Copies of this chain bind each other. A is one copy, B any other.
């Protein structure tokens, strides 16, 4: 049974997601208090509700990063501007958006300091001191930090001047080991976003045009937002020996020879919170998967003035908390309807209602945020039922997002089909000759970019969808955030 609450008040203040998805997104992330705009243009405040989501993301991803043998460390925010120059592609990619500290108080510094847009340079400088021999390898370090990239166009969570992320930086004795690590972490990311964020992704290799500035090869996971656009949800780079040559990271190998080391780096950011909103949201607001919901179950007393209602609600909430469920009770003065709207907007997976009649009958009403279904369960069996339902919701949310994604991938054979697919809010899977000119043409004609090349990429047609020359691979084209 669908819930019949009046949504007029909320809808009035939030844009229609069908008509203006980007505006719906902005309205929703602000109104749910996930975030706010900072005083400096392009900066963002992550408010307590949004930060609680980030903490749940951090904890569960950090566990996975540690389980694969990595240790956390912390490197400085600043490095000499000249560090950026050492790797030619890296400086071209990052220098234009790099924030520079030139003064402390009224004093000018002798050399400008760059604020990290990513930490390859400062970390490699340290690694060149720390690594002497093959015994020091592999070196597997991760950092949770803030980074700064001065973007022209910003959007909360998706693209802000400063953002939070984790960046893994590893060093290996061979190219093959670096490649293995690069792909391993891509799979760790995929498992994490699938099972924790309930977000399906396409994994594959970035094209030369789209790869990380300084990498030998970049791999990405691409998620599909509800408007059919792609969001790059995480990347993993095989840096080969590019930075080890620029920063002189050499080691004495078992064979007695000094060799340059091989590296990987990989990261995901606070934009994952934006992905959660854009993948699972609906016209009532956001919908959070239980694994990252700061409140998994909200308990709402109905006719709370009636004897026993508030007590029973509090008792149930306490039992849920004791059983490991992140539960809260809403005892505020507002009407139940107002509270239903608020917690639906904030995406709490389960709402429990307890009123005088429920009390008499020994039941509680259970409303699922993802399906909006409402059922009744026995009050005595509520705790195991809720725990089970949270698992069901987690799985169902992935299934729903996954079937949506799959329904929006279209194989295309030429530019016209590609345009139709992209205009229809789909990803276009196309055969491709592999040349940059075709990517540029697609970008120019329909503002779509090559998202990634799938690992199993047998061409399904013999020719490039853009230029008609022989195809060497398939690639996903889509508009992207």
Contact = CB atoms under 8 A, between A and B. Distances in A.
A65 interface: no
Contact of A39 (B125, B148, B162): B125
Contacts of A98: 104-105
A105 B96 contact: yes
A48 B97 contact: no
Contact of A162 (B55, B73, B77): B77
Contacts of A252: none
Nearest to A139: B48
A52 B66 CA distance: 11
A329 interface: no
B75 A45 contact: yes
B103 A100 contact: yes
A51 interface: yes
Interface of A: 36, 38-40, 43-48, 50-52, 54-55, 71-80, 83, 95-106, 112-113, 115, 122, 125-126, 129-130, 141, 145-146, 148, 150, 161-162, 164
B104 A101 contact: no
Nearest to A145: B146
Contact of A80 (B39, B48, B101): B39
Copies in the complex: 2
8 contacts: A38-B79, A40-B76, A43-B76, A45-B126, A51-B73, A54-B74, A96-B105, A100-B103
A69 to B, nearest CB: 12
Given A46-B73, A104-B150, 14 more contacts: A38-B76, A39-B79, A39-B122, A40-B76, A44-B76, A45-B74, A46-B74, A48-B71, A74-B164, A77-B148, A77-B162, A96-B104, A99-B103, A100-B103
A106 B76 CA distance: 23
B78 A162 contact: yes
A378 to B, nearest CB: 33
Q: Give the one of A73, A148, A164 with max B CB within 10 A.
A: A73
A93 to B, nearest CB: 12
A100 B102 contact: yes
B97 A105 contact: yes
